[in-house]
Structure formats: C-alpha cells, structure tokens
Structure 1
Amino acid sequence: MGAPLCSVSRLCRASWRAVRPGCQRLHQTQPTGKETHFGFQTVSEEEKGERVYQVFENVAKNYDLMNDSMSLGIHRLWKDWLVRYMNPTPGTQLLDVAGGTGDVAFRFINYVQAQREKIRRNKLDHQQNLSWSDISMSYSQEQKGSLMGSKAVICDINKEMLKVGREKSLQLGYSEGLSWVAGDAEELPFADEKFDIYTIAFGIRNVTHLEKALEEAYRVLKPGGRFLCLEFSQVNNPVLARLYDLYSFQVIPVLGEVIAGDWKSYQYLVESIRRFPPQEEFKEMIEDAGFFKVTYHNLTSGVVAVHSGFKL
C-alpha cells in the first residue's frame, strides 16, 4: 500500500512565506553547500527544496485521486484515527502543517462540531420543563457559533496545494473556522505559543531539516500544547514488509504515470518513505526538540505511525 504525499520542504531559491493569510512574498536564501537526500539521490539542500516544491506543484490537481488509488482508501481511515486520537474540544486552536488539501482540518471541524452538539444535547437533557421556544432559542444561539471559537489554520509551502484545498473547502461547504497560510515548516510565520495542537500528516519526511521543523512545532505551541505527526514508518511484519516493498516500487510509480502522468514524483514518494527514520529514532528526535511524554502508535503493522508529544 502506498499513500499520501504532502508538501512542506523549504523552497530555497524562491520560497513562499506568508506575511498574513492571503498574502505571500518571496524571500531569497543563500546556498549552504551542504548535501542531503532527495529520495535515494544525493543533492544540495537548495536543490532538494526546489525539487520537493516542484513535485507537489505537479501532483496537486490529482492529489486526492492518487491518494485513494495508492492506499485503496486506507489513508482516510488513518486520518480519521488521528483526529479521534487528538480528541479536540470546542475552542481548540489547530495548526495543520503540510495540510494543503485540508484533509485533517476538515475532519477537525467535523469532530469539533460533533462535540459541540453533544454538549448542547447534554445541556438540554439536564434542563427541565423546557418549552418549544426555549429549545428553538438554544439551537439558534448554537448556530451563531457552531465551533465555539475553534479554528484550524492550514499551512503549506506550496501555493498549488493550498489552491486545491481552498477549492475543496468551498465545494464541501466549509465556511467557518478555516484559514489558509503559505508558510515553511522550518520557519513558520506565526507567533510563539499560539496553538493548542500542531499536526503534520505525511509531510514531515519532506522537510530538509527535521530538527528545525520540530523546533518550530515546539515554538508555536502553547504550554500544554500537543504535537501529533502521522507519517509513514517501518513495517514490523516481515511478510507484510516484503509485499509492501514490492507494491511500493513496482505499482505506485506505474499508478502515478497512468493516473497523473507523472512517474518521477511517485518514485520520489516511495524513496522518501524509505529514508524516513524508524519509529524509535523519530521518537528520540521529538524528545530532543523539547517535547515530553512522547509516544507512538503503529497503524497497519507500522506502515504508518502516529507520534504524539506535549509541550510542558
């Protein structure tokens, strides 16, 4: 099984950085001369940023279709699990990094609305002798603030991914609690201690410097805030691991060519997964960034893992 790509790595020669929602400007970065990996290739850090940006510019329009095709729809269940595990309450401020097409943010909004409905029903259940007008008034008041202050900020470095996400939000009827910001995971355009929860789903493996992205996650979270990362990991079943490798290298690039006309982008997807640190190593990196109570949960025998940590 394969699954989603997400864009988050730094575009080095001409990186998009948000000044405020809806506003973007270009900034220049100086070559470092350092090398890193782009899949199985060795490239300069600057070149990796540019290549990753191009990958997601290429795949943006077919992003959802390819995710469903590669994972047989299982990526939807992984994201559902992530949001249930998050268990956000009304009023929660979420930052979803590398979330360009809105999958996690939309689930967050739905979950918060369901929680708000539970609170409203419990409140009405505990009130006696309510008239029809009282119940009607309660519904009317709830509709004025259906998220009770909750907000999801979707941050992605790739403008094409954000464009797809905005269009999808309109098609699905999301009109409240969302904002879209172009920004780099290694240099987030937000103030310190602004968010309750930071999520990144299938995106952190694409950053050039994992440590910087984790440090930025720590910086923008409030004390008591939570870091959650859904990412491909190391399969812990030997038989499944062999089948997974066969499917990844022999099938996914072919699907990319047939459906999206893009073999190379999906070849990079497969290779980038194999270069990402296994569960325990990534857990240690999260702890090194300052997070406490770091744990992880394997899903689908470790095809993906959800790492969790708290800023205490």
Structure 2
Amino acid sequence: MSEQETTHFGFEQVAVDDKARKVAEVFHSVASRYDLMNDLMSCGVHRLWKRFAINLVGVRRGDRVLDLAGGTGDLSVRLARLVGPKGCVVLSDINASMLGEGRRRLLDEGIVGNVAFVQADAERLPFPDNHFDAITIAFGLRNVTRKEAALASMWRVLKPGGRLVVLEFSKPVLPGLAPVYDVYSFRVLPLLGKLVADDAASYRYLAESIRMHPDQDTLKGLLEQAGFEGVEYFNLTGGIVAAHRGYKF
C-alpha cells in the first residue's frame, strides 16, 4: 500500500485530503471578524495593497471579472463599480461563511445586478473555457492545496488577452525587515487574534502559511508553467506582499 500523500498546513504536515477541511475551519472561525482583523494587523495598509492590485488588473467597463477567493468582497466592491452595469463580477470563495460575509457586504454597499456569488474550489473552477476578461485572487492562493492545478484552472477560464493578478504575502526583501517581521508574525498576530477574535490558533496558522508560500520568483515560475506570459511582479511594503500579473495570449 502506498503512503498517503501529504502537504503542509502551516508548519504541520497533513494528508492532502485534510488540508481543505482544516483551512475551511480556520475561515469559518474568523469570517465575522476578518475585515476588522485585516485593518488591525496591517494598520489599514491592506487597503492600499488591494487598490494597487486593482489598478494592475486594468479593468474596463463591460468586463467580466472573477474575484477568486474573494472572501468578504472588498475587491468585488471596487471591481463592480469599475465594470459598470454592463459588466459582471463573480465573487467566488470555497468557504460558505466568507462568501456569506461578502454577499452581505455588497448588498450593504448597494451593489446589485452586476455581481454573482459562486461557492467554488479554485482547483476546479465551474466556468466555461475563455470566459473571463480578468481574474483577481488576493491573499487566497497560499491556502490552496494544489497551486499548480488552481493556476491551470484560472488560465483555462481566462479569455485570450485576459490577465490574472495574484496579491499575496511574500518574502521581505528590504534589509533588516525579515527579523522584525518574524517577531510581529509569531508573537503579535496570535495575540491580536486571541484578543479580538478569541482565536490565536487561526492567526498562528496565518503566520506559518505565509512562511510556507513560494517566494516572488518561485511563484512567477509557477505562473509561467501554467501558461501565463509576460509575468511580472511588484514588491509592496518591502516585499511583505507582492502583486504578480500574467497574461493569457
């Protein structure tokens, strides 16, 4: 009998089939406090990172855009306004709790008519080939079990000429930043999680998952292997976050 395939869940090795369940438990736990924690953890800077990513996409009126792992919908709000009434934004997330938060947010913002909500696995997107003008995935790729499969699925559903933007935590490149970032990640984040969300474990997983995610050049290579061309990346806040963009030609 062959050994069971494993993958990482933070620093822990788990069975491949168990990772999605464990990640789901994390996001079910934090969904109601997710936006508040993002503001606290980044001192609001995550809003600037997301604005940069949206500008990088270059969305036009009438475009059809997939906001993958879109969670509570902060990108979808901006994207829906950019594509206008003749465009469409699909807010998709594998986690029902996060998707529910996103739906409530868009309704509260008065955005109806040009947004759809789809619960879906990034590795097996339930959309036709050559369907979207653009795809965004912000702070979601590191939680995907098989990143290569997810990127291939994204490439498939993009139209020729379409573009993908991946916004994700990455590896600090500013001299002296890494040790300070480590202290913040492994001491401050779990404490914030405990005080605000009563969930230190989920934010310990956050710090560990960031360390296990591919660095800037490795992720660039994964996009290229999936078929994306003209791949480039932009370091933000000293490389704590990077935005990658690639095209399907």
1:169 to 106, 110, 118: 106
Amino acid at match of 2:194: E
Aligned-residue offset at 1:194: 0.5
**Structure 2 residue 166 is matched with structure 1 residue 195:** no
Amino acid at match of 1:98: A
Q: Aligned runs of 1:238-257 on 2, under 5 Å? A: 238-257=175-194
2:209 aligns with: 272
**Structure 2 residue 93 is matched with structure 1 residue 153:** no
1:210 aligns with: 147
Residues in 2 aligned to 1:87 and 1:176: alpha-carbon distance in whole angstroms: 22
2:227 aligns with: 290
Residues in 2 aligned to 1:69 and 1:164: alpha-carbon distance in whole angstroms: 18
Is the Cα contact below 8 Å between 2:96 and 2:119 reproduced in 1? yes
1:311 aligns with: 248
Residues in 2 aligned to 1:208 and 1:243: alpha-carbon distance in whole angstroms: 28
Amino acid at match of 1:303: I
Two-structure CA RMSD over aligned residues (Å): 1.1
Amino acid at match of 2:32: K
Residues in 2 aligned to 1:86 and 1:310: alpha-carbon distance in whole angstroms: 10
Aligned-residue offset at 1:240: 1.5
What is the SS of the residue equivalent to 1:251?
helix
1:56 aligns with: 27
Residues in 1 aligned to 2:231 and 2:175: alpha-carbon distance in whole angstroms: 26
Amino acid at match of 2:100: K
Residues in 2 aligned to 1:148 and 1:40: alpha-carbon distance in whole angstroms: 44
Residues in 1 aligned to 2:43 and 2:85: alpha-carbon distance in whole angstroms: 35
Aligned-residue offset at 1:148: 4.7
Aligned-residue offset at 1:111: 3.3
**Structure 2 residue 195 is matched with structure 1 residue 258:** yes
- Give the TM-score normalised by structure 2: 0.97
Matched length: 247
Structure 1 gap segments, 5+ residues each: 1-31, 113-146
Aligned-residue offset at 1:238: 2.7
Residues in 2 aligned to 1:168 and 1:197: alpha-carbon distance in whole angstroms: 22
Residues in 1 aligned to 2:132 and 2:182: alpha-carbon distance in whole angstroms: 37
1:107 aligns with: 78
1:73 to 40, 44, 48: 44
Structure 2 gap segments, 5+ residues each: none
Q: Aligned runs of 1:122-161 on 2, under 5 Å? A: 147-161=84-98
Where does structure 1 differ by over 3 angstroms across 4 or more consecutive aligned residues?
none
What is the SS of the residue equivalent to 2:173?
coil
Aligned-residue offset at 1:80: 0.7
Computing the radius of gyration from Cα coordinates, the structure with the larger value is 1
Residues in 2 aligned to 1:38 and 1:89: alpha-carbon distance in whole angstroms: 37
Residues in 1 aligned to 2:137 and 2:234: alpha-carbon distance in whole angstroms: 15
Amino acid at match of 1:93: R
Relative contact order (C-alpha < 8 Å, sep 6+): which is higher?
1
Percent of pairs with identical residues: 49
1:185 aligns with: 122
Q: Aligned runs of 1:87-106 on 2, under 5 Å? A: 87-106=58-77
Residues in 2 aligned to 1:168 and 1:87: alpha-carbon distance in whole angstroms: 23
Amino acid at match of 1:274: R
Amino acid at match of 2:79: F
